[in-house]
């Protein structure tokens, strides 16, 4: 069956198209008798207003685009859920715009703008300067999650990556680790660079250096298992590993188990994010807490402020991180526990 239109509703109700529009609009006026006739006709025909068409009149769609990669990572999945819920409470809907690879996301972002979105949140890939300028010209606020670029009107929410990495390095050093390694993501992302640099700078200040560094291949989908097998099979294998995120750290724990290594006696492991998986009894992963709830709250606050005051200078907000110590680092050092 063809979708019912305003014209169909008007014909069934015996009123004009304009009368139907007045009844169904948020601020429209109509007599109780006319309103009852129109609503009855609309329900009989199963008529639903065209939100995109209405947005052309109101110049607002209440759509917020989220440009994000694959949500197989539980952290990204939680971010999607949190944003969708908070936006729904404010009468807005999330337009999910997936990114296939890790390069510039200009095409995906421009595709989302075709839907006349009120704003965009970018949590994957990188934006070119040209894309930033186009968004500014169109008056579409953009909030970056997990990275920062110097561009007018582009706000950013990200972790204190260096601070979190410093906490991880200090705990590994206090644990007595002598050969500390870093396992990074599938590409050299903004947060990846900051976390690695925070680790190496802290080691350098302690008179140490990074013993090994590895990057998870795209084929492993952030699990880190095979790259950890390779590292832990070396003659001078690491005795402490800091990972880009919890998923990678869990892969390290699985690799250690497969090789018969005891955690934390033979190997200390620290992740980043403090996802729900990290607290599971079979992992009990020591990790850096980067709370999704705080990220979502800050993105929503930035979004509302930017929509109300579009000419504000660009803002950068760092979410404070903290150490959550569990079973993958020595028990004697558990001063902060969950």
Q: Cα–Cα distance between 116 and 249 in angstroms, integer? A: 40
Q: What is the pLDDT along the chain (338 residues), one digit of tens a residue?
A: 567 788 888 888 888 888 888 887 756 677 888 888 888 888 888 877 665 555 544 556 888 988 887 666 788 889 999 999 999 999 899 988 877 666 677 788 888 877 888 898 988 766 777 777 777 777 888 898 988 887 777 899 999 999 999 999 999 999 999 999 999 986 667 899 999 999 999 999 999 999 999 988 765 655 778 899 999 999 999 999 999 999 999 999 999 999 999 999 999 999 999 999 999 999 999 999 999 999 999 999 999 998 888 888 889 999 999 999 999 999 765 554 44
Torsion of CA 38, 42, 44, 47, to 10 degrees: 170
Q: Looking at residue 333, what is its pLDDT?
A: 55
Give residues with Cβ within 8 angstroms of 197, minimum separation 6: 162, 165
Give residue 72's pLDDT: 65
d(CA 108, CA 113): 9
- Edge-to-edge strands of the sheet including 93-98? 93-98, 63-68, 119-122, 142-145, 154-159, 316-319
Say what angle helices 17-24 and 6-13 make with each other, to 10 degrees. Answer: 110
Nearest Cα residue to 207 out of 236, 173, 168: 173
Domains in the chain (CATH in brackets) are 6-49 (1.10.260.40), 61-159+292-320 (3.40.50.2300), 161-291+323-333 (3.40.50.2300)
pLDDT score recorded for residue 123: 83
Beta-bridge mates of residue 319: 159
Q: Kindly report whether the global pTM for this prediction surpasses the value 0.75.
A: yes
Helix (H) or strand (E) holding 65: strand 63-68
Query: Is 25 in contact with 11 (CB distance < 8 Å)?
Result: no
Query: What is the reported pLDDT for 338?
Result: 44
Query: What 8-state DSSP symbol labels residue 218?
Result: G
């Amino acid at each position: 069956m063809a979708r019912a239109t305003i014209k169909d509703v008007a014909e069934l109700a015996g009123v004009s198209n304009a009368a139907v529009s007045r009844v169904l609009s948020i601020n429209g006026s109509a007599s109780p008798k006319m309103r009852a006739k129109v609503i009855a006709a609309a329900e009989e025909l199963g008529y639903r207003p065209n939100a995109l068409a209405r947005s052309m009149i109101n110049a607002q769609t209440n759509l917020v685009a989220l440009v994000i990669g694959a949500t197989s990572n539980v952290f990204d999945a939680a971010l999607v859920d949190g944003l969708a819920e908070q936006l729904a409470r404010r009468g807005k809907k999330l337009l999910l715009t997936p990114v296939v690879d890790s390069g510039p996301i200009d095409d995906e972002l421009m595709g989302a703008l075709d839907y006349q979105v009120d704003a965009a949140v970018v949590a994957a890939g990188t934006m070119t300067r040209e894309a930033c300028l186009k968004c500014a010209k169109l008056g579409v606020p953009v909030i970056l999650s997990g990275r920062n670029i110097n561009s007018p009107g582009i706000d950013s929410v990200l972790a204190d990556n260096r601070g979190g990495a410093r906490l991880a390095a200090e705990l590994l050093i206090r644990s007595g680790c002598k050969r500390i390694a870093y396992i990074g993501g599938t590409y050299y992302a903004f947060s990846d660079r900051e976390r690695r640099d925070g680790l190496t700078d802290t080691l350098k200040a302690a008179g140490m250096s990074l013993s090994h560094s590895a990057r998870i291949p795209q084929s492993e989908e952030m699990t880190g298992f095979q790259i950890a097998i390779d590292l832990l099979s070396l003659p001078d294998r690491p005795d402490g590993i800091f990972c880009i995120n919890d998923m990678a750290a869990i892969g390290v724990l699985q690799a250690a188990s497969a090789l018969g290594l005891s955690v934390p006696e033979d190997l200390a492991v620290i992740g980043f994010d403090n996802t729900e998986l990290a607290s599971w009894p079979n992992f009990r992963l020591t990790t850096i807490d980067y709370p999704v709830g705080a990220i979502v709250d800050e993105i929503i606050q930035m979004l509302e402020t930017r929509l109300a005051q579009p000419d504000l200078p660009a803002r950068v907000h760092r979410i404070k991180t903290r150490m959550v110590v569990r079973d993958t680092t020595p028990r004697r050092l558990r001063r902060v526990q969950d």
